[in-house]
Amino acid sequence: MGNDASKGRAAALGDGEIAALKASTKLSDQEIREMFDEFNKGGGSDGKITKEEFRKYYKKSVGSDDKAGILADNTFAAFDANHDGSINFTEFTFAIMAQNKTDLDSILNF
């Protein structure tokens, strides 16, 4: 994601990543930046979010019942392409958009 998280800096969102996400998701610059801010608040400040962090975010966004946890786990598994137990911001965005393409406000209420 561009920054060296080992030096304690938050991950940065580059213009190229914004352009790619705009083209793929039809989100605006502002929506992408808002989602990125929420990603960082939810644990992604190192450029990645863990399965547990994603699960917490997902359950807060869509509900905290057992089914939401199972859906979060399945969604995470589908987008953790290299199976390292974490997803980056682009993967996170696609995972969230796959679950709810029309209601960005509820997604961002983390």
The CATH number given to whatever domain includes residue 69 is: 1.10.238.10
Neighbour count for residue 51 (Cβ, 10 Å): 15
4: left (phi over 0), alpha (psi -120 to 50) or beta: beta
Q: Is residue 34 part of a domain?
A: yes
DSSP letter, residue 7: G
pLDDT in tens, 16-49: 999 999 998 889 999 999 999 989 888 877 889 9
- Whole-angstrom Cα distance, residue 82 to residue 18? 22
pTM of structure? 0.74
Q: Is residue 66 part of a domain?
A: yes
- Whole-angstrom Cα distance, residue 80 to residue 60? 20
Q: Is residue 8 part of a domain?
A: no
Q: Is residue 62 part of a domain?
A: yes
For the chain, the straight-line distance linking the first and the last C-alpha, in angstroms and rounded, comes to 22
pLDDT at 110: 42
Q: Is residue 93 part of a domain?
A: yes
Between the alpha carbon of residue 109 and those of residues 37, 39, 73, 76, the distances in Å are 11, 11, 20, 19
The per-residue pLDDT of the chain, averaged, comes to: 80
**What residue numbers bound the domain in which 28 lies?**
13-108
